[in-house]
Copies of this chain bind each other. A is one copy, B any other.
Amino acid sequence: METTFRIFKQVPRLIFGAGSLRRIGELVPPKNEGDYYVYVIDDVLKNGVVEDSLSIDENDLVEWFPATRKEPSTIQVDELRDKVIKEKAGKMPLCIIGIGGGSTMDVGKALSVMLCNEGSSRVYQGWDLVANPGIFKIGVPSIAGSGAEASRTAVLMGADRKFGINSDHSMFNAIIMDSSLIKTVKKDQWFYSGMDCFIHCVESLEGTMINELARGYADKALELCKRVFMGNGDDDMLMTASYMGGVSIVNSEVGVCHALSYGLSIELEYRHGYANCIAFNVLDEYYGKHVASFREMLKRHDIQLSTNVCSNLDDSAMNRMIDMTLRMERPLTNALGENWKAILTRDKIRELYLKM
């Protein structure tokens, strides 16, 4: 009967609703003379509705993050940290506000931690390696699905691996779920990011490391995803699904799809949501009925995925991808049980990659 689930961490304060970004003043710590905030904002939002909803002061720093280009890296985070310290001569910001998708929010989380902990962000990739609390931080998803708003993970690309900083200190202190921001998103991005949530739910529900609370979140999020992508669900539903899927995954674990998609992101520089879609599409033997639903959604929204994406990779690239996948021990244990190494062999992983 004894359980060994981790302590379930939750963002303590959130504001929900279309237009609610304008209420950010209710969440930020009030400034005194000389105080400033750092905004990290996905650069697709430049010259858009977001700035109108914020009251950015002269003294504040705004970093437009090029999230669509590729996954955020430890190098980018370290450079951003150094830039903030240099520009403000070491004076710390009062608050960091991350506005965007999972990548941009993760950069906001990582910056918060790296302003208060020494060395490179590489050092903190792993579990509970962050000693000092970070700067107060607020997350604002402008695209839904990653669940980064709910999680204590900031996923970053290192030299040879994609890996999260996982710490109580890398969770947001508050989030704003303003579904009106989703209207800014292009259809394909909206789809890939939404599928990140769908896949979180599937991996959570089909895995062994789940409890009834996490199942409650994942069940509801999956239902809402289906209403959005297979029915007539709205942006509020997608925002709720993303959050609940994120909460579920924090308290359970991802699975085979994420383990494979990390390899694609490393070698092909695919963005996370897209890499997940490419991988999920070949996982019939693990997530059968859900893969069928996924294909129905692809069709319904007229989304074309690339094919033969690994056909031009040489052996060493393929081996790096396989190594990356095999490093995902916890997700693979969740999906396939303790005996996963006998099931997901190097040959099997290669076979799956070649199917994509």
B-binding residues in A (CB < 8 A): 1-3, 5, 7-20, 22, 26-27, 177, 179-180, 211-217, 219-221, 224, 234, 236-237, 239-240, 243-244, 251
- Contact among B1, B13, B22, B240 for A213, CB-based, below 8 A: B240
Contacts A3-B19, A16-B3 hold; do A239 and B220 have CB atoms under 8 A apart? no
Q: Is the CB of A13 within 8 A of B3?
A: no
CB distance from A267 to the nearest CB of B (A): 37
Q: Please give, as numbers and ranges, the residues of chain B lying within 8 Å of A13 by CB-CB distance.
A: 7-10
25 contacting pairs across A/B (C-beta < 8 A): A1-B18, A2-B22, A3-B20, A5-B20, A7-B13, A7-B15, A7-B27, A8-B15, A10-B11, A10-B14, A11-B12, A12-B12, A16-B211, A16-B213, A16-B214, A177-B213, A212-B237, A212-B240, A213-B236, A213-B239, A213-B240, A216-B224, A216-B244, A219-B220, A220-B220
A56 and B244 CA atoms in complex are apart in Å by 36
Q: Is the CB of B17 within 8 A of A211?
A: yes
Q: Please give, as numbers and ranges, the residues of chain B lying within 8 Å of A7 by CB-CB distance.
A: 13-15, 26-27
CB distance from A226 to the nearest CB of B (A): 13
CB distance from A144 to the nearest CB of B (A): 12
Which residue among A1, A11, A180, A219 has the maximum number of chain B CB atoms within 10 Å of its CB?
A: A1
A219 and B10 CA atoms in complex are apart in Å by 20
- Contact among B12, B22, B217, B221 for A10, CB-based, below 8 A: B12
Q: Please give, as numbers and ranges, the residues of chain B lying within 8 Å of A180 by CB-CB distance.
A: 1
CB distance from A244 to the nearest CB of B (A): 6
CB distance from A182 to the nearest CB of B (A): 12
CB distance from A132 to the nearest CB of B (A): 18
Q: Is the CB of A15 within 8 A of B26?
A: no
Q: Please give, as numbers and ranges, the residues of chain B lying within 8 Å of A15 by CB-CB distance.
A: 5, 7-8
Q: Please give, as numbers and ranges, the residues of chain B lying within 8 Å of A239 by CB-CB distance.
A: 212-213
A240 and B244 CA atoms in complex are apart in Å by 14
A220 and B201 CA atoms in complex are apart in Å by 15
A84 and B215 CA atoms in complex are apart in Å by 41
Q: Please give, as numbers and ranges, the residues of chain B lying within 8 Å of A17 by CB-CB distance.
A: 2-3, 5, 211
In chain B, what residue has the closest Cβ to A244? B216
Q: Please give, as numbers and ranges, the residues of chain B lying within 8 Å of A216 by CB-CB distance.
A: 220-221, 224, 240, 244
CB distance from A205 to the nearest CB of B (A): 13
Q: Is the CB of B5 within 8 A of A19?
A: no
A347 and B12 CA atoms in complex are apart in Å by 43
Q: Please give, as numbers and ranges, the residues of chain B lying within 8 Å of A213 by CB-CB distance.
A: 16, 177, 236, 239-240, 243
Contacts A8-B14, A8-B16, A10-B14 hold; do A236 and B212 have CB atoms under 8 A apart? yes
A212 and B242 CA atoms in complex are apart in Å by 12
A146 and B131 CA atoms in complex are apart in Å by 37
Q: Is the CB of B10 within 8 A of A9?
A: no
CB distance from A281 to the nearest CB of B (A): 28
CB distance from A24 to the nearest CB of B (A): 11
Which residue among A10, A12, A14, A22 has the maximum number of chain B CB atoms within 10 Å of its CB?
A: A12
Q: Please give, as numbers and ranges, the residues of chain B lying within 8 Å of A219 by CB-CB distance.
A: 220
